Structure 1
Amino acid sequence: MSIKWLDLDTPPHLPALYAHAAARRKITGSTLPEQGVRCWVAVAPKPLAAFRDLCGLTPSPLLPPTYPHLLAFGLQMQLLTAKDFPFPLLGLIHLNNRIQLIRPMGGVTELHIGVYARNLQRHPKGATFEVVTEVSDRIGPLWAAESTLLCKGVELPGETLEQPTAAALALTELTRWYVPSGIGRQYAKVSGDYNPIHLSAASAKLFGLPSAIAHGLWIKARALAALDSHLPADNLEICVSFKKPVRLPSEVILLASDPGSRGDFQLNGQGDLVHLTGQWRPLG
């Protein structure tokens, strides 16, 4: 796939993009655009400190593994709300997320970030596609991510591809924590992601949910904070699959395998409820 890049001088203005998202409610096509969006984005100390605090991260000279997602959020919004993007942003469901830590993310004050969409596939409930985020510094590639999103109601020809599942390592309880009812609003202030399903029970009910649910990327960031001593600092791939949403408020339980170059983890609710499954592996 050959990407036609749109280079921006400054990151996109989020309020205007939210207006575009609110106005788009219909599926308008079944092919992904070939255009990507990229820009240099500053790493500001205060928002970074707020993110660390919200996710339970200790101070470190390295950027947290999931923090580039926040820096890329405006570019992702511009990509997904563009006129030629066929699916409405509101209603997309985040199924999977994979990040690659190519080099240690230390001492960076500005990052070059590019985002684009690819790999449209048939799904039993519609269609999935990937939003790819690529992050570099002045030296070269530093970090990359793929987020698999589901759009319900899309009709594509062909067969649904089966996703292979790998056997998990033995897991034991590592920690548990209480997720408060206001975490969605707190994360929105830090990330800029004001999706109504995360903000309050009232706004979530407008989209058919009985209560607000936690942001998937906050859940992942909070789990990785608890797994910090388990993980290498670079040459690392971390994959998660989002299962049942974390309804607010609730208690969650993090299970993990032993520290090392590879491992597995899982975030559970009460009873047999599974919110997230994940793994970390060396790159290559």
Structure 2
Amino acid sequence: MATDWQLLNSAPHWSALYWRAATRRKITGTELPDVGLRCWLSVDAGHLAAYRKVCGFPESGLLPPTYPQVLAFGLQLQLLTDKAFPFPLLGLVHLANRIRVLRPLGGVSRVCVSVRVQNLQPHAKGATFDLITRVDDALGLLWEAESQMLCKGVKLASEAIEPAADATAPMSEVTRWWAPGEIGRQYARVSGDYNPIHLSTASARLFGFPRAIAHGLWIKARTLAALSGHLPGSAYEITVQFKKPVRLPSEVVLLASAADAHGELKLIGAGELEHMLGTWRPIARPSRAE
């Protein structure tokens, strides 16, 4: 089905959208809308610097590979809180994320950001869908991401398919870091993601978590910052699956295979608890503007 694209004049405001999310707590259907949102957005130097600091990225002429996710967050929030979207935003679980950097993210100032949803599939705990985010510049596609989201309690007619396990390459410790108790609030200020499960023990307990947990995209960003020597500047993709949440505060250890065009990573906590698994690989550069 073709996407019905709507062009916005400016990025949506988070506060009104969070109020909309808080008042929608029921599943209203089992079909994804065919509407997509687009908006021309600019990179703010001050905001970018704050993001680098929170996620551990050094100063560079390239945007961090995870930064476009933050740039697109307002559009994502508007799409997922629209009345046509059938699932409540609060309670969605981020299962996996794939980022594709097609060209170097240098000299990026004003870009067209697009968001849409697709691929509704059954899951053992409900149903999953993909949130697709795309960034284009004057030359065409520059960057894109796919976030697999789970909505618990959705009933679909077809059966869930269990994904096959991938082979694991030898890995060694790259680094370890302390995830402090305040990192959820710090990341919320630069990302706009003020989900209560990330902010404090008190707010997390309202949603069944004994302590606040780290944002999945902060974990991925912090990991990519640590793997800067393993990854090329462009023409690659990195996919991660989020396993057990990182409870705050806690120490995590990053393991990875040797620096190469292909590789694997693992983020673990105390007792070898797996928080995140991932792979990276090269992709073909686009031959022309799309």
Q: Deviations over 1:67-123 (max 9, x none)?
A: 000000000000000001000000000000000000001001111000000000000
Structure 1: distance between partners of 2:136 and 2:260: 26
In the other structure, the counterpart of 1:147 is 147
Q: Secondary structure at the match of 1:230?
A: coil
Which residue is 2:250 aligned to?
Answer: 250
The amino acid of 1:207's aligned partner reads: F
Which amino acid in the other structure matches residue 147 of structure 1? S
1:73 aligns with 2:77: no
Match for residue 232 of structure 2?
Answer: 232
1:1-284 matched pairs, under 5 angstroms: 1-284=1-284
| Contact 1:232/1:260 (8 A) holds in 2 | no
RMSD of aligned C-alpha atoms? 0.7
Q: Which moved more, 1:24-33 or 1:166-175?
A: 166-175
Q: CA deviation at 1:145?
A: 0.4
SS at match of 1:38: strand
User: TM-score scaled by structure 1?
Assistant: 0.99
Question: Counterparts of 2:229 and 2:59 in 1: how far apart (Å)?
Answer: 13
What is the aligned length? 284
Tell me the alpha carbon deviations over residues 27-69 of structure 1, each in whole angstroms, 9 at most, x when there is no partner: 0000000000110111000010011111111111000010000
How far did residue 156 of structure 1 move? Answer: 0.1
1:48 aligns to what SS in structure 2? helix
Aligned partners of 2:38 and 2:104: how far apart in 1? 22
SS class of match (2:161): coil
Aligned-partner residue type, residue 264 of structure 1: E
Q: Is the 8 A contact 1:55 1:218 kept in 2?
A: yes
Identity %, equivalent residues: 60
Worse-superposed segment, 52-61 or 147-156: 52-61
Map Cα deviations across residues 96-154 of structure 1 (whole Å, 9 max, x no partner): 00000000010011110000000000000000000000111111100000000000000
Give the Cα separation in 1 of the matches to 2:271 and 2:202: 26
SS in 2 for 1:228: coil
Aligned-partner SS, 2:111: strand
Offset from partner CA, 1:206-258 (integer Å, 9 cap, x none):
11110000000000000000000100111101000000000000000000011
Partners of 2:123 and 2:164 in 1: CA distance? 15
Q: Which moved more, 1:49-58 or 1:239-248?
A: 49-58
How many Å apart are 1:159 and its aligned residue? 1.4
Q: SS at 1:95's partner residue?
A: strand
Secondary structure at the residue paired with 2:122? strand
For the residues of structure 2 that align with 1:261 and 1:276, how far apart are their CA atoms? Answer: 20
**1:245 alignment partner, SS class:** coil
Q: What are the Cα deviations for residues 5-40 of structure 1, in whole angstroms up to 9, with x where unaligned?
A: 010000111111001000000000000000001101
